[in-house]
Structure 1
Amino acid sequence: MKLHKLILMELFYIYNMLQLNIKNETSRLRAVILGTAESNGSIPKVEDCYDPKSVEHVLAETYPKESDMALEMEAVAKVFKKYDVKVFRPEVIKDCNQIFSRDIAFVIEDKIIRANILPDRDREIEAIGYIWNQVDSENRIILPEECHVEGGDVMPWNDYIFIGTYSGEDYPDLITARTNMDAVIAIQELFPDKIVKSFELRKSNTNAKENALHLDCCFQPIGKDKAILHKNGFLIEKEYNWLVDFFGKENVFEITKDEMYEMNSNIFSISEDVIISEKTFTRLNTWLRKQGFTVEEVPYAEISKQGGLLRCTTMPLIRD
């Protein structure tokens, strides 16, 4: 009887574990963490902002309201429901900004990797603890303390892992520099069969139009062989040119500085054919439809005032 009970417990444990699977950015999505705007807290002080775009809106008194951001996130949740995607949400922490779930962790293949983020954001990681605990312990990865990384800089793409980084001597002075070369090396060691390709990003604490906060702020692969790119987001031209050559110039949609500022590259793929995009991205959405994509348009302009958009607020767990 005891043996029978142990077997049942083991089966229950296995059945309830999350079988993570992320090999690229565009395979059919099955499960995702979507951040929350609930109990988002008061408008931050300028000195407490994490990026120059947030600073702009604090100073202009146009910082987004919690109610508006909650409506925007629910619009995305409805799209996920339409496509039968399992949606997890963080546990709500009172007066805490938990919108950008991509910052706090990311999945590559069957492993979930905890991001080493800004110290005062550790509570956000605790809020997804119930998801972390559904992953086999062998596949929960915490990188060494010296490895700084956020999910917006990490893009699995089949045989490759693309990573945005910054290695300038002023790294410690740039709050917008989130991923260092120690993390790039650690991820290469975790996935020796992958080709890890890093890209130096342009950083600024004060000018949002000269700042690529993460790699997904100036680049994103879509479909099977296409990409959105912004040249000025890359510090080293030959690294930008490598991406153009990799995808083929005819498959690249180049966005302007203003479009990067509005986060045009930070859309989100449900599949190789379906993309969620901000409804005001007229030029991009028209191009996407001409390429054969189904574009699910949502309002996300208020959330973009904090320097992130659709990819930043979503953390995929399972794709086919």
Structure 2
Amino acid sequence: MTKIFVESEFAPLKKVVLAQSQFAFPDEKNEDNADLSFLTAENIEWSSGHAAEDFADAHPEKQMRWEQEKVDMQQLLESYGVEVLRPRLLTDEEKSLGRESGDGYSNFFSRDPFFAIGECVIEGNLRLPHRRYEVLPIREILIEATKEQGLYFAAPQPDISLGIHSHQGPFIEGGDVLVYHKTIFVGYSGLASNLLGIQWLQRFMRHFGYEVVPVRLHPNILHLDCALSLVREGLMIICEDAFLDGVPSQLQHWQKIPISLADASILMANGLPINEEVYITDYSFKEVITALKKHHVKVETLDYYVSRVFGGSFRCTTQPFIRE
């Protein structure tokens, strides 16, 4: 079997990295340095009074529920024959660095720190400082996976000449990168990836015959995969209000399962195809489940509430190595 190859968002999933569940809140002095408008009221409530605290200490019962979500997800994926890899946990030293900087730390969404296109594995750059080192617990997996086959690259480090919270970039995050054969859609809203990051990816991937399509998003949308899910060839879940320049021409003829901006904010589009016949989504998204079934898609459901409060769902917590 090929070690690394991602053909599309809905090609049969065979090997995937599933995230851990670790997070520490930033210090109060650092909370105003990042735009967190995409987060829900529940997230703000959970963080109140817990500056610089590990989530597991602040909310032990919610931590247990969060970890169980990943256990259930792994079991579901494995029931379909998918090989599941898990990043290592953060070391005490890594946690100390996060506390000392005041930014906190995270090890909770494997989609964003890196992404795979074809046989290329690419480390990205994350805008939020507490996520800049989130690739490190995954790096051993990336090295092993590309040791004999596959190409391993990293985007240029972001400019910090105006400070660690500078918006210069380049930023390129996996949640903004959707693969559709030789076409790569990359979103940018001002919250995550930016044009400098997309332009770097365009120049890089054209050497492998790919077209990279920038997609300008509503400013409250964190990533492209919060507003668009390619379920199978010709069918997508989409929040059209999130696309400031309209739906990309390559997708305009596709059938649409429409959702609103409010739906997008609770990650209704952030499901995960196992293949073109099977789709994973949250059990609470009844309208999307019904719509998918009308299109003869088998729907698998899980409770992913805690992950969604943190700003990500099924796609965010996974990054495929093999989809072909």
TM-score computed with the length of structure 1 as normaliser: 0.81
Distance 1:153 1:241, change over 3 A: closer
- Cα displacement (A) at 1:155: 0.6
Which residue number corresponds to residue 144 of structure 1? Answer: 156
- Cα displacement (A) at 1:50: 6.2
The whole-number CA distance in structure 2 between the counterparts of 1:257 and 1:129 is 34
CA contact (8 A) 2:38 2:221 kept: no
Which residue number corresponds to residue 80 of structure 2? Answer: 83
Instruction: Tell me the amino acid that sits aligned with residue 56 of structure 1.
Output: A
**CA-to-partner distance for each residue in 1:245-293, whole Å, 9 max, x for gaps?**
242xxx1111023211221110001111111110001000111111111
Of the candidates 267, 273, 280, which is equivalent to residue 271 of structure 2?
267
- Cα displacement (A) at 1:215: 0.3
Query: Where do 5+ consecutive residues of structure 2 fail to align?
Result: 49-58, 96-104, 158-168
CA contact (8 A) 2:3 2:150 kept: no
Which residue number corresponds to residue 102 of structure 2? Answer: none
2:32 is aligned with 1:25: no
The whole-number CA distance in structure 1 between the counterparts of 2:63 and 2:125 is 26
CA contact (8 A) 1:103 1:152 kept: yes
Query: Counterparts of 1:245-264 in structure 2 under 5 Å?
Result: 245-247=252-254, 251-264=255-268
Query: Counterparts of 1:69-218 in structure 2 under 5 Å?
Result: 69-93=66-90, 96-117=105-126, 118-134=128-144, 135-136=146-147, 139-145=151-157, 146-166=169-189, 171=190, 176=191, 178-192=192-206, 193-203=209-219, 211-218=220-227
Q: Percent identity?
A: 24
Distance 1:62 1:258, change over 3 A: farther
The whole-number CA distance in structure 1 between the counterparts of 2:223 and 2:140 is 26
- For the pair shown, which has the larger CA radius of gyration, 1 or 2? 1
Query: Where do 5+ consecutive residues of structure 1 fail to align?
Result: 1-14, 204-210
Instruction: Tell me the amino acid that sits aligned with residue 221 of structure 1.
Output: L
Specify which structure has the higher proportion of helix: 1
Distance 1:215 1:71, change over 3 A: same
2:241 is aligned with 1:240: no
- Cα displacement (A) at 1:106: 0.3
Which residue number corresponds to residue 51 of structure 1? Answer: 36
- Cα displacement (A) at 1:98: 1.4
- Cα displacement (A) at 1:244: 5.2
Which residue number corresponds to residue 4 of structure 1? Answer: none
The whole-number CA distance in structure 1 between the counterparts of 2:242 and 2:281 is 20
Instruction: Tell me the amino acid that sits aligned with residue 66 of structure 1.
Output: Q
Of the candidates 256, 276, 283, which is equivalent to residue 279 of structure 1?
283
Q: Which is worse superposed, 144-153 or 155-164?
A: 144-153
Of the candidates 288, 294, 297, which is equivalent to residue 290 of structure 1?
294
Instruction: Tell me the amino acid that sits aligned with residue 124 of structure 2.
Output: A
Which residue number corresponds to residue 240 of structure 2? Answer: 231
TM-score computed with the length of structure 2 as normaliser: 0.80
CA contact (8 A) 2:217 2:224 kept: yes
Distance 1:185 1:281, change over 3 A: same
- Cα displacement (A) at 1:84: 1.2
Q: Secondary structure at the match of 1:97?
A: strand
The whole-number CA distance in structure 1 between the counterparts of 2:11 and 2:238 is 20
Q: Secondary structure at the match of 2:87?
A: coil
Q: Which is worse superposed, 76-85 or 131-140?
A: 131-140
CA contact (8 A) 2:38 2:222 kept: no
CA contact (8 A) 2:110 2:318 kept: yes
Number of equivalences: 282
Instruction: Tell me the amino acid that sits aligned with residue 242 of structure 1.
Output: S
